[in-house]
Structure 1
Amino acid sequence: MSESPAVLDLELGPIAHGGFCVARLQGRVVFVRGGLPGERVRARVIDDSKASHWFATATEVLRADDHRVAPPCPVSQRCGGCDFQHVEPAFQRQLKRRVVSEQLSRGAGIEWDGAVEPAGDDEDGLGWRTRMRYGVQHGRPALRAFRSHDLVTVPEGGCPISHPAGRPAAEKAAAGAAQVAVAVAGALTDDPTVGVVADGHRVEGPSLLVEGLDPRVPLARAGNRSWKVGADGFWQVHPRAATVLAEAVIDGLKPRPGERALDLYCGVGLFAGLLADAGVRVEGVEVSRAAVGLARRNVPGARFWAGRTDRIMPRMSHRADLVVLDPPRKGAGRKVAGQVASVRPRAIAHVACDPAALARDLSLFAENGYRPVSIRAFDLFPMTHHVECVAILRASDDEAILRAQDGDGH
């Protein structure tokens, strides 16, 4: 590390992507965790390895913003799981709105004035996380510290953002294990089911490992459907997230019976299932063979491929009315954007967990003749900086679509 003072006295500027506030010190940018725009804080430097910018954590608030609150978790400033426990939940969404707006403007030239929508009317930001992975420290569940491999023991009573049904099971399993995974099914019911795996072995409830899922226990629901989901595979961790995103996608696409759709990065078939229920013929692709196996069970009328999206796309239908893509955090990228445009869909739904990656992808789709007609953002990860977005794209003109067919899609 280069020479730097251990503690800085800083005036905090705007919120930045990642949950940091931006401060400046003698021409250097300092990204500060645990602050709010406009506050004055003392902050401890935690990373000065870059000459252009440092990272720091607020240790003392000298001038507080009105939206600052006492964190509900006593270890929130040390644990890496939460970024915004010191912020009122409604203002957390305002901060996320600013980040989405700034990223879309910077990365795609889109001026967005939407809101970050809560997942439910009673959202207090706690008790929502249905899947947790813990290390163990002194016989108790622990989570990794911020930007560190060190462990921080969760407080008595459990991690406040974890679902309450899973907290006692985590405490019990941690007493004799090194690693514990907990998943809660039926999280919105009066009688949720808890599955626990300790050191790779089931110790309580249904087996929640891929290929070992108890077929009697649907792990997740959205709309009028249930999905079998492997605990090691992808599924939204907020109990309302799948329904919120599915409704946004279906409402935006407005599928019609008899249409064709591609579900890219399809996971276990969330969007494919709802499109099939609307009378749409669906093909899906997912890199995980285990997820594809579950997708085939969940949506038996659809066709699913296992492999990388960019490699499988040429083998899928060359025309589609609708495309849904839910890529990993890095986004879809230039090649997939071109491939999607080449099938000439009348509408595209892009689901994104990173606003910077979404902005990059939207700029690529614009090059291929598709632009967003709506962008919605959802607070599906309260107390963290993460935000989920759904963009609905349509062709800007037929000529642009024809140009796209001569590009990266072929």
Structure 2
Amino acid sequence: MSRQPRQRKARGASVVGRRFEAVVGPVAHGGHCIVRVVSDPSVEPVETRVVFTRHGIPGERVVLELTEGTEGDRFWRGDVVEVLEASPDRVVPPCPFAGPGLCGGCDFQHVDLARQRELKADVVREQLQRLAGVEGEALAGFEVEPVAGDLPEQLAGLRWRTRQRYVRLPDGALAMRRHRSRDVVVIDDCRIAHPEAREPAPGVRTERVGDREFAVASDGFWQVHPGAPRVLTDAVLSFLEPRAGESVLDLYAGVGLFAGFLSEVVGPQGRVVAVEGEPAAARHAAHNCPGVDVHTGSVAEVLDAGVHGSWDLVVLDPPREGARRPVVEQVVARTPRAVAYVACDPAALARDVAIFAEHGYRLERLRAFDLFPMTHHVECVALLTR
């Protein structure tokens, strides 16, 4: 099949297929590195173009091939197709389906695992510095931490994904999508999938975290790394330091992972209110967390309609786009002493941290966890205080 990138309005002739020799620049958010190439050496003054390039490592000298773009675009996209001077951090990908033109699921299979975490830390740091102006103690010693699961292979970045979605071909073969394409690559095995990985399906399953059990829709949201629920809960509790009798808002609460543990700590004299927009998840939260007041609906609308007054603590675990201004401003209006923000996208986290800063809340502490090895994704937990 021919590759079919997402359609963008053409601004001149296509540049797809052009090759350049270049040095790979810094890592950028999204699983690629920045490479600058001379777009047309015959033009004076010399014009350079940014190419968001996959399959390289900063500092390498490579040959890259453009995969998307036209002559008038502000930037292009490309793949490293030949390595002229390799980084010492380059490794043979453990998956034979990872590489230019192949499965688009993993961004960093060609990078040593420890270096992958350094690259992710660089991205988080850059986003917070550039978008939120964060400097100093909050980022001192910051690193992306490995997370253990239930299999030895997970410490090598493999077999951690407990739920996986495949393309099922008519002959029964499994396939995955190419990067930014609807085209497929037939595979025999996904190396990051857990041996018992499930595909989303109707029904309900039970997940255990410590001594608590959580009912979860089989096709609903639950962290895919087996070590994630415990490590994220521990981080949130250690950051907030909840005390008996305190009041807590758990926003974007899902099935009540954080609310359940927080309710144990604040006790019967305290109060925990959970807000979740997905009705099935909210129903499970009410079942999983007796004593927690669960509201179903948009977080901004629920806060505006009836969850007023001052609150001691807030947990934010928004979707990829972040909480955004309407929710952040509703949170600060409730004057919590501390906010724990769980983020799966560092750019969205940085934008929201900047809004918190407008209202006198600063990023006090930050941890990040490698819950998605071999990919560019990273999970952060931030502590914001007045």
TM-superposed CA distance for 1:66, in Å, is 0.2
Distance 1:265 1:341 in 2: 16
> Is 1:143 aligned with 2:176?
yes
Shift in CA distance, 223/317, structure 1 to aligned 2, threshold 3 Å = farther
> Is 1:120 aligned with 2:138?
no
TM-superposed CA distance for 1:318, in Å, is 1.8
Equivalences, count: 349
> Is 1:160 aligned with 2:153?
no
> Is 1:91 aligned with 2:120?
no
1:295 matched to which residue of 2?
A: 285
Please list every run of 5 or more consecutive structure 1 residues that lacks an aligned counterpart in the other structure.
167-181, 184-196, 198-207, 396-410
Distance 2:264 2:327 in 1: 26
Query: Sequence identity, in percent?
Result: 50
1:15 matched to which residue of 2?
A: 27
Distance 2:378 2:176 in 1: 21
Q: Where in structure 2 are the equivalents of 1:148-297 lying within 5 Å?
A: 148-155=181-188, 158-166=189-197, 182-183=198-199, 209=202, 212-213=203-204, 217-218=205-206, 220-278=207-265, 279=267, 280-297=270-287
2:294 matched to which residue of 1?
A: 304
Q: Which runs of 4+ in 1 moved over 6 A?
A: none
Q: Secondary structure at the match of 1:91?
A: helix
TM-superposed CA distance for 1:11, in Å, is 1.3
Distance 2:279 2:287 in 1: 13
Q: Where in structure 2 are the equivalents of 1:47-62 lying within 5 Å?
A: 47-49=68-70, 51-62=73-84
Identify which of 33, 49, 54 aligns with 1:33: 54
> Is 1:381 aligned with 2:368?
no
Distance 1:228 1:142 in 2: 30
TM-superposed CA distance for 1:6, in Å, is 2.6
Greater RCO, 1 or 2 (C-alpha within 8 Å, sep 6+): 2
Distance 2:232 2:210 in 1: 11
2:361 matched to which residue of 1?
A: 370
> Is 1:106 aligned with 2:130?
yes
1:171 matched to which residue of 2?
A: none
Q: Is the 8 A contact 1:221 1:242 kept in 2?
A: no
Please list every run of 5 or more consecutive structure 2 residues that lacks an aligned counterpart in the other structure.
1-9, 39-47
Amino acid across the alignment from 1:146: H
Q: Is the 8 A contact 2:62 2:83 kept in 1?
A: yes
**TM-score scaled by length of structure 2:** 0.87
2:384 matched to which residue of 1?
A: 393
Question: Bigger shift: 276-285 or 29-38?
Answer: 276-285
Q: Is the 8 A contact 1:337 1:368 kept in 2?
A: no
Distance 2:115 2:64 in 1: 22
Question: Bigger shift: 95-104 or 117-126?
Answer: 117-126
Distance 1:58 1:224 in 2: 47
Amino acid across the alignment from 1:135: V
TM-superposed CA distance for 1:223, in Å, is 3.0
Q: Is the 8 A contact 2:362 2:385 kept in 1?
A: yes
Amino acid across the alignment from 1:327: P
